[in-house]
Amino acid sequence: MRAWLSMSLSLALAASVSAFAEAPRTALVIHGGAGVIERGSLSAEDERAIRADLGRALDAGQAVLNEGGAALDAAMAAVEVLEDSPWFNAGKGAVFNAEGGHELDASLMEGHTRRAGAVAGVRTVRHPIRLARAVMEHSPHVMLVGEGAEAFADTRPEIERVRPDWFDTERRRKQLQDARERAARQQAGRRQYRWGTVGAVALDAQGHLAAATSTGGMTLKRWGRVGDSPVIGAGTWADAGCALSATGWGEYFIRLAVAHEVCARVRLRGEPLALAAEAVVNGEVPALGGDGGAIALDARGNIAMPFNTPGMYRAWIAPDGSRGVAIYADE
């Protein structure tokens, strides 16, 4: 009897340990851009609003994961909330270009399938990340730009359209005026107004990863300039073991293929995610003259959030359920 009881308890314990070991582990990380974000640069009211919007984006993505949804859906859901916020340089909060308009870029990628979609230079699409997904799912292409991307949007009734001035905000208009004045004095304002992107990386209960990124680009940009955000491998990447969304000086992130480079180190060298992300974002990027940050996830739920600027808007829910929202470098 004792032997049978002992065996039963052992089997029950083994089953419990096995079930715990095999329990789905999800994770979600988001960012709202890196840049000159120092303590004292935001009013208490503005800081509360920014943290609240980061929290809402996190909730939107996590709700998808909690229901057993796909990482791609979770990442897109989080980014859409950030695109509707006036606090971040994407969608509603997009910066102005040199002509006083808006040119929006976005991309997303699903790790286990390597499917990807991207758009650049769109002007009337409320959620560019949704159009990027439509490119992935309903066209034979990966990236569409400008008038072509707008024409493709015309064929997709699910893509919400808005007037170009819907993206206008007074805060961004003041930044444009400040940048113009600095440029006129030949005191390049790029350091103040270069940054700004939103993004998300997600790990779902099936062990799949995805990444999504959206941006309004650079204040005062000209000639149809496109940064790293819609470039697969530069600002966005996901494979079976790693997903990354970047934010920073796009020209350098393109030249270094930052998103792919980090994940290649994980996949090919076997480097831990944190080490790989640190080496590229805080090593190779500044060595070349650039700066910025990134969020990354691996298939085990490890999180990395390196940046080399005074701050980066970021938030996360780890596999153990712990949650955080941060802005400054010392958080």
Strand partners, 237: 244
pLDDT of 18 reads 41
Ranges in the chain, pLDDT < 70: 1-24, 183-195
Is residue 26 part of the annotated active site? The answer reads no
pLDDT of 170 reads 82
pLDDT of 38 reads 83
Q: Which of 26, 197, 215, 236 is catalytic?
A: 197
Whole-angstrom distance, CA of residue 123 vs CA of residue 104:
6
List, for residues 206-218, the tens digit of each pLDDT value.
999 999 999 999 9
List, for residues 113-128, the tens digit of each pLDDT value.
999 999 999 999 999 9
**Terminal CA-CA length for the chain:** 57
pTM: 0.89
List, for residues 80-107, the tens digit of each pLDDT value.
999 999 999 999 999 999 899 999 999 9
pLDDT of 4 reads 35
DSSP 74: H
- The beta strands (E) that lie in the chain are given as 27-35, 104-110, 115-122, 143-145, 198-203, 209-215, 236-238, 242-248, 292-298, 303-304, 311-317, 323-328
Instruction: Tell me the average pLDDT of the chain.
Output: 90
212's tokens: 């999504």
pLDDT of 306 reads 98
134's tokens: 């439509």
